[in-house]
Structure 1
Amino acid sequence: MVFLQRPGGQSQFSVWNSARSVPDHALSDLLGDIAANPAGDYSIPAMAARLTMSPRHFTRLFTKQVGTSPGRYVERSRVEAARSMLETGQRGIARRCGFSSTETMRRAFLRQLGVPPSAYRDRFRTAG
């Protein structure tokens, strides 16, 4: 069982809890795909091409409807996916979540959660 919202006073990390409802169906589908496959190519040119928009227009639309830049959203989604894998004790997470290296994942964790992945794993992993 996975909580969309953590019980009690625990911090809320879910990108789904903080994302706005998006009226554009194509953009909504893209957000679902980012969550389902965080390792995909989510560069601005690739996402803009998928929605048949210019990169500039895509960035403006995304930021207006989602409330954050595409890059920040993708990073938060990847951190959330990695966080979930760390909680279950999985290994080799960085590339499976779309990070180019473990160092890139570490930096993203520090930006998003304020702790490195190793400290997160030690604090939040389930007892085995």
Structure 2
Amino acid sequence: MDMLFESEKQKEATERLLASVRVRTINSEIDAYLNEMLGYAKEIDSILEKNSLGARYLDRVSMIDKVDSVYLDEDLTNIDFRLKEEIEDLLKRINTRIRLVKTNDALVKEIEESYNVDGSDLDNDLAEANLNI
């Protein structure tokens, strides 16, 4: 038995409660990354529309579960180098956030499975947990 807890039940309740808080924090981070990605995609599409090249990236980014990376389309490889550099920079930012979302999503699943967060009764865990709040 751990010295911090009076019982195994108290220890498990505390772990589940802390895991639930961690999952919520990670989900908030994921939401922030998704919002940033959508903003970058809108910015790319705005650049493309201003140059009569047709918007297309917002649709791709909005389907993140089917995408591992977003790349510069072939028809954009010969555009003005300044536009191309700006778009490529935004694509790098999008791809970084895609990786962060996927990594954090895997972490959430691992935490939920390890601590049975989905199957827990938070009110009961809060009453049982050893937290000084």
Q: TM-score, normalised by structure 1?
A: 0.42
Q: TM-score, normalised by structure 2?
A: 0.41
More helix by share: 2
